[in-house]
Amino acid sequence: MSAYAVTNPSTGEVLAEYPTASDAEIAAAVDAAESAYRAWARVTPAEERAAIVRRVAELHRERLDELATLIVREMGKPWAHATGEVEFAADITEYYADNWEKITGDSPLDILGEGTAVIRRAPIGPLLGIMPWNFPYYQVARFAAPNIVVGNTIILKHAPQCPESSAAIAQMYKDAGFPEGVYVNVYASNEQAADIIADPRVQGVSVTGSERAGSAVAALAGQHLKKVALELGGSDPFILLSTDDLDAVVEQAVEARLDNSGQSCNAPKRFIVIDSLYDEFLAKFTEAMVGTAMGDGFDESNEIGPLSSLTAAERLAGQVDRAVEQGATLVTGGKRDGAFYQPTVLTDITPEMDVYREELFGPASSVYKVSSEEEAVELANATPFGLGSYVYTTDPAQADRVAEAIDAGMVYVNCVLADSPELPFGGVKRSGTSREMGLLAADEFVNKKLIRVAP
């Protein structure tokens, strides 16, 4: 079977296969990106680049059903989540088109001497993007759109299980009117991706994926002195210290945990609850998880679908089984049927267990009881990850203290699923090294050139 294939995770049926690129095709892709870069960066005005990017956003909306269908086929995403992702990708793409002046304009500096100084943002060249399967459109939009507006060109290696959605993205860039080579989709192997990184014409690489993938790519990028941006995993804490409406909190906790069938790096996965609310929260949370409708993504009555693949479901089942073997309590769930995995709740987890440090990538949650704000923060930070975090409290001063104390790139107070194109996304520790979305994303792969002029 080809590495690039569409396998319906609901049934295990292989629906389509696509050949991996030849070495000659990879060489041609890099040639095209380098050739296009010279004119795109130096000849095409930023306003014109932005106008074509805006057309890509429009095409996302015009082709909504077609694009959503592809990712339900490829990775089992529930229909409502699939259409929502396409719409969000359109919003992100449009954001960078709207803000082209801010991300390409000069930044004057106050200087001590006479004359003037500015920071001029200039593109650096072709970039390689290595993207994951869990959000096939959203992940690409937040990498490609700002960099193309800035003036870089893109070589995109998508996950092998996303050949059709990746081709659809490339087609939108073509149909929008981009010159050949500004956006190039490649069905590359890992070895060919390494060759692209090594090519001296390629100036940087962005990876969204697992720790293992990020570490491997970062090592290659470092070897070849290339800039690398990493967006990796997360085991985000959801801290509940006080509330006037526990039912609303539980509803949001479940909705966030099961977003994308639980396969979201910044979903809350560890629920840390003050002792006075713990029993009631656990009972309501468990009831809601059990009541979640699970099935084929094309059936709009289903709230979650299968995991993206049989391998992903087997991996999650192994983690949960091992946690129970090591002494954790399985409150509900823990059953796998092919690529489907029941919504699962674990408690009584201790630092000696593997699951204490692992990311559960699927509809499984761990719930902890704490007796104080300080204990909650200590437990929240007891992880190798540091992506997002969630704090629920009725005390604004407490919210500020906890947000300050959490080791994470993002803190959301009394809200979930509040991502927006203007808000930067990224983490610390083993969750990554960069920021995507917002204006910060456009600064990852630019030459912040100092221009100092004497009077």
- Give catalytic status of residue 162 as yes or no: no
Residues 231-277 pLDDT 10s: 999 999 999 999 999 999 999 999 999 999 999 999 999 999 999 99
**Cα separations in angstroms, 180 against 30, 52, 187, 201:** 12, 13, 17, 17
Residues 125-163 pLDDT 10s: 999 999 999 999 999 999 999 999 999 999 999 999 999
DSSP string, 314-331: HHHHHHHHHHHHTT-EEE
- Give catalytic status of residue 314 as yes or no: no
Tell me what the pLDDT averaged over the chain comes to. 97
Distance CA 140, CA 161 (A): 15
Spot the catalytic one: 94, 162, 265, 359: 265
- Indicate the residue type of 283: A
Ramachandran angles phi, psi of 289, nearest 5°: -65, -45
Spot the catalytic one: 231, 358, 359, 444: 231
Beta-sheet pairing, 364-370 with 344-347: parallel
Domains, in order of start, for the chain = 4-232+432-453 (3.40.605.10), 236-420 (3.40.309.10)
Helix/strand/coil percentages in the chain, nearest 5: 45, 20, 35
42: three-class secondary structure by DSSP = helix
Contact 85, 138 (CB under 8 A): yes
Is residue 103 scored above 80 in pLDDT? yes
377: three-class secondary structure by DSSP = helix
Distance CA 406, CA 246 (A): 23
pLDDT band (50, 70, 90) for residue 2: low
- Give kind and range of the element (H or E) at residue 278: helix 275-290
Name the DSSP class of 92: H
pLDDT band (50, 70, 90) for residue 1: very low
Residues 371-401 pLDDT 10s: 999 999 999 999 999 999 999 999 999 999 9
Is residue 66 scored above 50 in pLDDT? yes
The residues that bridge with 161 in the sheet, in sequence order, are none
